[in-house]
Amino acid sequence: MSDDFSQFSLFDRPEDVVAEIGGAGWPSPESLPHNAGAHRVSKQLLRDLRGSEAPLLVVGYASLDRLVDFLAEAPRPGRHVRILFGAEPFPSRELSFPYRGGFPEEVRRYWARQGVSLRLCGAIVAVLERLAAGEIEARYIDGTRLHAKLYCTEAAVTLGSSNFTEGGLSRNLEANARFTPNERRFREGWQLAERYWSRARDYGDELKRLLEELLQFVDWREALVRASVELLEGEWADRYLRMQGYDGDLPLWPSQRQGIARALWLIRNVGSVLVSDATGSGKTRMGAHLVRAVMDRIWAHQRIRKGQPLLVCPPAVQDIWKDEARQCLLPLLTESHGQLSRGGADSGSTIQDQIRRAQVLAVDEAHNFLNSRSRRTRALLSNMADHTILFTATPINRSLQDLLRLVDMLGADNLDPDTLRRFERMLRRDSLDRSLSQEELALLREEIRRFTVRRTKAELNHMIDADPDAYRNARGERCRYPEHVSRLYALEEDDDDRRRASEIRSLTEQLHGMAYLHRPIQMPPVLRSEGWTEEKYLASRLTAARKLPAYVVMAALRSSRAALVEHVRGTDYASEEFALAEHLHKAATGNVLETLSNIAGQPPENQLGIDLPDWLTDPAEHRAACQSDQRIYERIEALAAGMSGGREERKARFLADCLSRDELVIAFDSRPITLAFMQRQLRAAGITQTLLATGSEARGRDEVNRRFRLGSTDRGIIALCSDSMAEGINLQQAGCMVHLDMPSVVRVAEQRVGRVDRMDSPHESIDVWWPKDAPEFALRADERFIERYETVDALLGANMPLPEGMVPARDRAVEAAEQMERIEASLNAEESWDGIEDAFSQVRRLVSGPRALVAPGEYEAFRSEERRVASRVCLVRSEKPWAFFCLAGLEDQAPNWLLFPQRGGKPVTDLSRVADSLREALETEPDTVGFDESTAGWLRHFVDRLPEAQRLMLPRKKQKALEEMERVMEVYRREASASQSQAGVDFCERLLNVLRRPDPDAPPDWDALAETWLDLIRPVWYRKLTRGRRRRPLLLRDLRSDLTGADRIPLDRVMAAFEGLGTLPALERRVQAAIVGVPA
C-alpha cells in the first residue's frame, strides 16, 4: 500500500485551511484585516460599518446577498448608506462582448444564475423599504470596470482584496489595509471613494427591480405554476440541444425538445428512461438527440470510456437511426434485433461485449425483449451501462407480465429497496405466465411510471395547435397527426355461410379443450395468496380450456377459411388445399388434430389436492375426450370447406376499390396465410402490384418499407401486411389502411394504424376501414375481453384460468361500429389506454385538465412570461407544518421537486407522491398568511432541512453506489489500520467523513462522487458479468465481496480518482418556488 496520502485533500473546507494557518507572527488584524487562525476580516469591518451613520461601500456585485443581510439590520433614524457597485473579475469575454443592457443586465444575469437563499426573505423586504425611503442609495460606474474594494466610515477606511462576500470576509486568504482618521491614508481613501461615487450613475431603480426579481411573496397558485413550468417545460435542458446546425437541417419540434428534456430529467433523477410516446410522434429523431445529449454530459465530465453508445433496433429502421445519428453528430453503434438473437448467447461474442461496454444502451421497440428465456433478452440484461433508454409505444405487448421485464431492463438497482425485494421474489418463480397478483401488478405499474415519458396523441396535438408553425417536415409543410376517417365495409355473407358460421360456433362450445390441458394441473401460488380454493381454480381452469380454443377457431374463421383449415390441419395441408405454395413462405403452424392424436390417452399430472374429472385422469376416458374433440374439429373443417368464399372475394374487391381511390393501400391481417390467399385473389383479378410482407422474409418487408415511406413516388400498390409489420416501420405515404380482420384490442389497432398515422404524414386525413362481420362471424364481448390485456398464445401457454369477469359463452355479438368507435376513442383519448402513466402526469394534472388547481390559462400565461422572478415564496395556513420546494435546473443539474410532509418527516422526492401531497394540501384553497417573525421561523426550519434531501435526489442506483462505497471503504480503513498505514487511515476517514457528515453549506457533488465510484468498480463489474449466466440481475451489492476480497481496489487508485471533485452550492440558492404550510 502506498503511503503518499498526505497530499490528499478531498473536499478541504477553506475555513479549515484558514484556521490551521493562524498563530504567532501574523500582523494586527486591526491595521491589516485578514483571515487566519481566529482572525476574520468581518470582525473589524462590521464593527466599523455598524457604528457608522453614513458609510460608503465600494464592492463587487457578487456581494449583494451578504450586503442585503447587513443592510436589513435594525435601522437608525437619519442613517444614510451609500453603495457603489463594481464589476467582478469574471471571464474576459465580458470585456469584449458586454451585455446589451450594460452593467445592470450583467448583474441581473449573474444573480439569476446564482440565486439567493430564502433566508433573505425578510431582509429583502426590509431593504426594498429602505430603498424606497431613501435611506439606501446605490450607484454603478458605466463604460469601464470598477474592481476596487473600499469601506469608508467615520472610524476607519479599509481597502484591499476583500469583497463583501462570505469568502472575502471569512473564508479566503485576503490582504487589506485599515486606516484611521489620524492617518493621511484615511483622507485619501475617502477622497478616492468620493471621486468614484461622483462619476457613477444611479442604480436605485434597477436594484429595486433586481431584488423584486430575486424573491417575491406570491399566492400559492403562482408558486405552483412557477414550479410546474420549471419542471415540465424543460428549458434547463436547452444547453444540451444547442448544436450548430446547417442550412437545410430540420429543427427539432417543440414536442421533441420537451420530450428530450423530460427524458433527461428522468435519467438524471431516476437513472433510466422508458420513452413511450404515441406512435408516429418522431421518436427516432428525438431518440438520437436524446442519446447525443446524454453523451454530451458524459463527455463534458470527461467520463468517456471504451465503448460507444449502443442502439439495438429492428432491422427495418436501422438505416433511419444511423441517418438521424449522423445528422446530430452522434457516433452511435447500431445493431439489429436479429443480430442480437444470433450472437447474444455467446458470452464471448462481439455484440455481447459491445453491450457490456456500452456506456449508454438504447433499445428501440423494447417490447420485443420481454421474453426472459430468449437469447437476445438475456444478452441485453448483461449490461453495465450508466443509463438505459428504452423506446416502445406499446409497453404491454403480450401480457401484463411484460411489466416485470420492463422493470428488469430499466435496472433493478434503480428500484426502491422494498420493491426490489418483491421484484426478486417475482423473478425466482418458475413461470411468470399470469402469475402476478393485482397488488404486484400495481406495484410494477407504479415503478414503471417513475421511468416513463409518455405523451398521448391528443396531448401532442394540443402542443401542435399551440404553435403550428414550429412543426414542419423536411419539405417545409406543417405537420400534425392526420384526422382519422373511420368507416365500415360490409362483407355481404350469404345465408348459407352465415348458417355454417353459426354451426361452427355451436360446435366450439362442445369442445373439452383437450389440446390445452396437457400440462400438469397445478394452482399458481398467487391465486392461493388471493384466497382461491382449489375447487374454484379447477372450475375456472376448465372453463378457460373450453373458451380459448373457441376463440381461436372463430378468430381464424373471421380471417379466412384458409386460416381455419391451417389451424385444424396445419400449414402444409392448407397451403396445398388453397393453392398457396407460390405465395406462402412461413414456418408450419397449426394442426390441432395432430396435437390431439399425440396426447390422446396421456392424462396431465394432477398436482391439486382434489380429484379431476375422469376424462382428465383415466387414460381411456382421456383418449375418448381427445377423439371427441378431434371429431368436432373435423366437422368444423368440413363446414368451412363448404363455405362459398364470398367473404374473401368481398375483401379482395374492396381492396381493389380502395386502390381506385387511393394511390397506396395497406391492408393488415393477423394470419399470414390469409394474406397469401388475398394476394392470389387480387392477382387473379388483374391487380399485379401487390406486395406481401409477413416479417418472415426481409425482401418483402424492405420493399414495402421502400415503396410506402414518406416521399415515395410509387403508385397503384397494395401492401398485404401481417402484424409483424405493424411496428418499427413508417409507411405514411399511404393514406388508406384496411383491417382485413377486426382487431379485438386497442394495442393491435394502434400498432397497425401507427404505420400511416404519423405527425409528418403528407395527408390531412387518412381512411381507416374496419370489417363489418355478420353477427354469426362477429367478435363476441367475451372474446374481446380475453385479449384485453393478454394475447391468446400467452393465455394458451399458461396454467391459469381466464380473468374473473368473463361473461357467459353465448354473449351477444359486438357491433362492428361499436368496436370501431371504442378503439378509436381509446386511440384519441387524453389518457393512455393501458394504464401506464407518464412520470409527470400527476404534476401536469395540478395545472391543467379538469382537476387543475389553477385557473385555465394561468399556466400558459406564465410559460410565455419573458422576465421571471428567481424565487417565488408562499406561506399558507395549515393544521400541521409542511413545506414544498422546487429547485431550479442549473447548467449541470435537473430541476427537482421535494416535500417535507411534516416537521420531522423524511423528505419526499418522488414526483407522484409530492404532487399528490400538494393536491391534498392545496385543493382546500388555504389562506395565504403574511411574513412575520413566527412564519419566518417555519421557513428557516425547512430551509435548514434542505441538505437532508440532497442525496435522496440522486437515482436510487447512485444512492446505492454511495452506500456500497461506504461499506467497502470502511473495510479498507480497518485494513489500513491493521497494517499501521496512518496515511491510508487518514485518507479513508476523510472520505468516510464526507459520506457521513457532509458540510451543509458546501456539500460534495454527490452525483459526481457516485459516478466516480461506479467508474472505479466497473472492471470488477465487467468480470462478474462474464462469469456464466445469472437468473436474477447483477446488483451493486453483489460486488461487495469481490471488492473486499480478491478484486479490491488499491487505495492510491481510489485517491487519484477522487482528486479534484468539487462541491455544490447550498440547495437553498436553487429554490425557484416554495410553499410552506404554517400552523396557527
DSSP character string of 705-756: HHHHSTT----SEEEEE-GGGSSS---TT--EEEESS--SSHHHHHHHHTTT
The arithmetic mean of pLDDT across residues 466-479, rounded, is 88
The arithmetic mean of pLDDT across residues 293-302, rounded, is 80
Residue 258 sits in the same domain as residue 207 = no
Percent of the chain beyond pLDDT 90?
A: 49
pLDDT reading at 286 higher than 80: yes
3-class state of residue 336 by DSSP: strand
What pLDDT sits at residue 792? Answer: 46
pLDDT reading at 893 higher than 90: no
pLDDT reading at 336 higher than 80: yes
pLDDT reading at 195 higher than 50: yes
* pLDDT band with cut points at 50, 70 and 90 for residue 393: confident
Residue 568 sits in the same domain as residue 694 = no
Alpha carbons 136 and 124: distance in angstroms, whole number: 13
Considering the chain, what is the average pLDDT of its residues?
Answer: 85
* pLDDT band with cut points at 50, 70 and 90 for residue 14: low
For residue 733, give its domain range: 483-491+645-779+813-827
Residue 72 sits in the same domain as residue 202 = yes
The arithmetic mean of pLDDT across residues 698-724, rounded, is 89
Q: Which one, of 1053, 973, 989, lies nearest residue 4 by Cα? A: 1053
- Which one of 192, 216, 240 terminates a domain? 216
Q: What are phi and psi of 1021, to 5 degrees?
A: -60, -45
* pLDDT band with cut points at 50, 70 and 90 for residue 275: very high
Under 8 Å between Cβ of 567 and 553: yes
* pLDDT band with cut points at 50, 70 and 90 for residue 35: very high
pLDDT reading at 2 higher than 70: no
The arithmetic mean of pLDDT across residues 102-124, rounded, is 88
The arithmetic mean of pLDDT across residues 421-428, rounded, is 67
Helix (H) or strand (E) holding 525: helix 525-529
Judge whether 13 lies within some domain.
no
pLDDT reading at 238 higher than 80: no
User: Which range is least confidently modeled, 258-262, 398-402, 787-791, 1008-1012?
Assistant: 787-791
The arithmetic mean of pLDDT across residues 836-853, rounded, is 89
Judge whether 36 lies within some domain.
yes
Residue 299 sits in the same domain as residue 435 = yes
What pLDDT sits at residue 240? Answer: 63
Chain segment 557-583, per-residue pLDDT in tens: 999 999 999 999 999 999 999 998 877
- Which one of 216, 231, 263 terminates a domain? 216
What pLDDT sits at residue 91? Answer: 46
* pLDDT band with cut points at 50, 70 and 90 for residue 263: very high
Judge whether 52 lies within some domain.
yes
Looking at residue 818, which CATH number applies to its domain? 3.40.50.300
What pLDDT sits at residue 720? Answer: 95
User: Which range is least confidently modeled, 721-725, 799-803, 1020-1024, 1039-1043?
Assistant: 799-803
Residue 676 sits in the same domain as residue 611 = no
Strand order in the sheet with 81-86: 176-179, 157-160, 150-152, 56-60, 81-86, 136-140, 201-202
Residue 413 sits in the same domain as residue 550 = no
Looking at residue 270, which CATH number applies to its domain? 3.40.50.10810
Residue 312 sits in the same domain as residue 447 = yes
What pLDDT sits at residue 303? Answer: 66
Under 8 Å between Cβ of 679 and 625: no
Percent of the chain beyond pLDDT 70?
A: 86
Judge whether 576 lies within some domain.
yes
Alpha carbons 976 and 970: distance in angstroms, whole number: 10
Judge whether 863 lies within some domain.
no
User: Which range is least confidently modeled, 676-685, 797-806, 955-964?
Assistant: 797-806
Look at the alpha carbons of 407, 409, 415, 419 in this order and tell me if their dihedral is positive or negative: positive
**Grid cell at residue 1003:** 456539500
The arithmetic mean of pLDDT across residues 76-93, rounded, is 81
* pLDDT band with cut points at 50, 70 and 90 for residue 144: confident
The arithmetic mean of pLDDT across residues 54-71, rounded, is 95
Q: Which residue has the higher pLDDT, 765 or 351?
A: 765
Q: What are the angstrom distances between the C-alpha of 205 and each of 116, 139, 142, 213?
A: 19, 10, 16, 12
Looking at residue 73, which CATH number applies to its domain? 3.30.870.10
Residue 186 sits in the same domain as residue 165 = yes
Under 8 Å between Cβ of 739 and 770: yes
- Which one of 574, 607, 641 terminates a domain? 641
pLDDT reading at 345 higher than 50: no
* Angle of the 956-978 helix axis to the 982-996 helix axis, nearest 10: 150
pLDDT reading at 426 higher than 70: no
* pLDDT band with cut points at 50, 70 and 90 for residue 343: low
The arithmetic mean of pLDDT across residues 263-279, rounded, is 91
Judge whether 85 lies within some domain.
yes
Residue 581 sits in the same domain as residue 543 = yes
Residue 660 sits in the same domain as residue 525 = no
What pLDDT sits at residue 680? Answer: 93
What pLDDT sits at residue 147? Answer: 93
Judge whether 22 lies within some domain.
no
Under 8 Å between Cβ of 381 and 441: no
The arithmetic mean of pLDDT across residues 870-884, rounded, is 92
Domain count, the chain: 5
User: Which range is least confidently modeled, 20-24, 613-617, 754-758, 1009-1013?
Assistant: 20-24
pLDDT reading at 432 higher than 50: no
Residue 158 sits in the same domain as residue 52 = yes
Chain segment 622-675, per-residue pLDDT in tens: 999 999 999 999 999 999 999 999 999 999 999 999 999 999 999 999 999 999
* pLDDT band with cut points at 50, 70 and 90 for residue 224: very high
Residue 664 sits in the same domain as residue 635 = no
Q: Which one, of 897, 900, 907, 918, lies nearest residue 1071 by Cα? A: 897
What pLDDT sits at residue 830? Answer: 67
Judge whether 152 lies within some domain.
yes
Q: Which residue has the higher pLDDT, 943 or 544?
A: 943
Tell me 368's DSSP state.
G
pLDDT reading at 370 higher than 70: no
What pLDDT sits at residue 787? Answer: 53
